[in-house]
Homo-oligomer: A and B are copies of this chain.
Amino acid sequence: MAVECGIRILFYIIFSVFILNSCDGAATDIELDAKAQLLHRLDSLNLLLYTFLLILTVLTIWTFKHRRLRFLHETGLAVIYGLIIGAIIRYGFTTNSAILHMPVVPDNSSKYNQSVPPDTLWLRFPEDKGGGLIKNKTFAYTFRGEIYKEDNEIDLKATFDPEIFFNIILPPIIFHAGYSLKRKYFFRNLGAILMYALLGTSISAFVIGALMYAFIQLIPHLSTSFTFLDTLYFGALISPTDPLTIISIFNDLHVDVNLYALVFGESVLNDAVAIVLSGSIQNYAERYQSGSGGFETVAFFQAFGDFVGIFSLSLFIGATMGCITALLTKFTRVRDFPLLESALFVLMSYSTFLIAEASDLTGVVAVLFCGICQAHYTYNNLSPDSRQRTKHLFELLNFLAENFIFSYIGVSMFTFPKHHFDPGFIFAGFLCALLGRAANVYPLSFILNLARKPKISMNYQHMLFFAGLRGAMSFALAIRNTVSDARQAMLTTTSLIVILTVILQGGATTQFLSWFNIPVGVDEEIEGLSQNGVRNYNSMQDGSVPTGAKPNEKALLARIWGDFDTRYMKPLLTHSRPTLLETLPVCCGPLARILTTTQQMTQDDVSRKIDSDSDFCLEDREMERRRMNVQPRKRNHDDDDEDDDDEDLRIIGMEGFIPLRTL
């Protein structure tokens, strides 16, 4: 308990400093100044609290890594420290300055006839009200929200505006996920990933929604406060799985690359699916409320249209901004100035988020696909310095943001004023979250295995089921709206599910991997390419006799896209060969000439380092070249290059601080 003691002492010191300092001032102006300063100091103290928590987490993670302890992961640690500090704040301190509030009514002279409340109030103290010097003064107040229960507890500090999660914390995490996606294996497993993420998450949401609704009917005091839409919303927000914890463990242990791709790809995409899905459910609910009641087919299809429309438009904006950045970095020589280049990169990526949000689309989805495009195209145009800068920057931002969010989940369990502990709902929530995950993984794997050549073995399915930790996205969605009792119960349940899955499942992952005989310590470069087919086949079918299947069995979709990408997108957006002059029909010659840089024309076929995931369309390109009678590339050399790049991306992508080959 030395840590706890230390925290307590530090806190007392800081608190005593700021309490001692705040006892001066007599006149109102000075009191107001002092009040503003007090609030500023409280804000600083809040931020300091989380900074301190993060420092503590960093130091403990280091100790754990140093001593090779694996029973607790960094996110688990952040949560636990958060819980401890939250409890200390809750029970260790009594807030001495309760917030003063005052009921007011409209002035008699005002003729306010709008249907919405005003944005600002001007409070004038008449002669007979208020003490001291505030008589005859006017103060401005800004709108905050509707009050449902007048006996609501005081908003404690140490909690943040939920919008901060959406606008500041999530974007770098999601962008980083896209930017560090292992695209080679991602595209190889594209079909399965899309199936799990798009269809699976929706199935999971509906299964959880239905089961929860059925459960709630059994518990009398809950059945009145939840509608089916409420439980469906809960289903949507608890369905997305969290990439952070599990992936950093996988990375640590060098788990089989295909399992890695499945888990990571699914959990990155289902965050995007869940946020759009929950938005559509809310839209449906709004239309539903304003209508007659009962199931409304029109509203349902509108909501479905919303889902498809918002998702694809956001995807389009993200991809477009990624491509614009690629064009900017290709056709200007901004790469001569790495600082300018990386600033441009960061600004373009953040503006993607903002453009999507400003157009009422989903910034998270846009920024995810922007990240994927930036990695796929722009990354290849960047100067080596900028590559490293951008990787390092987003890696650090991601690290800080994810640990902040997990500390916050811990602290807010105690300090957030709008928790509602309902044992029945919590129990039902845990059970349904498990069942929902199962309803995603097992039936879809069965269907996938009907068509898929390297089948997904039962052990892999168990691991996929087990990898369904809940994390930041669930929490962010849950805390966004906490006005009703129902929503508060959802927040509490979600927080508990996140905390327990992160600590328990995260801690037990290593154990489970060995129970399920998942290959670990896989050396990706060697296995991934030269003995690719055999090993993958082995590990996927788990025990069956290896056949001579083609190494790169790909879905038709992936093939078509890969071909298009190599022939048109990459030559347009990067400096890669073949150029558009070679791939476009002859009639487009002049256009192709404009869009092809001298660098692209003159670069040496052998020495060029093209991009980080070209393996995924290797044969296509090979065929392409033969057809066009271009001299074949020196395979070995090129492969090495690509692998270096990809390995590089992978290491920094997830957890740069893991020394390679720890096993």
Contact = CB atoms under 8 A, between A and B. Distances in A.
B123 A62 contact: no
Interface in A364-411: 388-389, 392-393, 395-396, 399-400
How many chain copies does the complex carry?
A: 2
A118 B147 contact: no
A113 interface: yes
How large, as a class, is the contact surface on chain A? 35 or more
A105 B565 CA distance: 66
Given A51-B351, A351-B55, A400-B343, A101 B118 contact: yes
Interface string A278-315: 00000000100110000000000000000000000000
Nearest to A120: B101
A104 B107 contact: yes
A657 interface: yes
A132 B115 CA distance: 5
A45 interface: yes
A73 B18 CA distance: 43
A48 interface: yes
A65 B337 CA distance: 9
Contact of A122 (B14, B32, B103, B358): B103
A342 to B, nearest CB: 6
A115 B134 CA distance: 6
A59 interface: yes
B61 A340 contact: yes
A548 interface: no
Given A48-B351, A58-B347, A115-B134, A104 B122 contact: yes
Contacts of A337: 62, 65, 657-659
A515 interface: no
A347 B145 CA distance: 34
Interface stretch (A1-9, A33-41, A520-528, A626-634): A33-41
6 contacts: A55-B347, A62-B332, A62-B334, A101-B120, A339-B399, A389-B396
Contact of A100 (B52, B66, B119): B119
A401 to B, nearest CB: 11
A30 interface: yes
Interface in A324-382: 328, 332-334, 336-344, 346-348, 350-351, 354-355, 357-360, 363
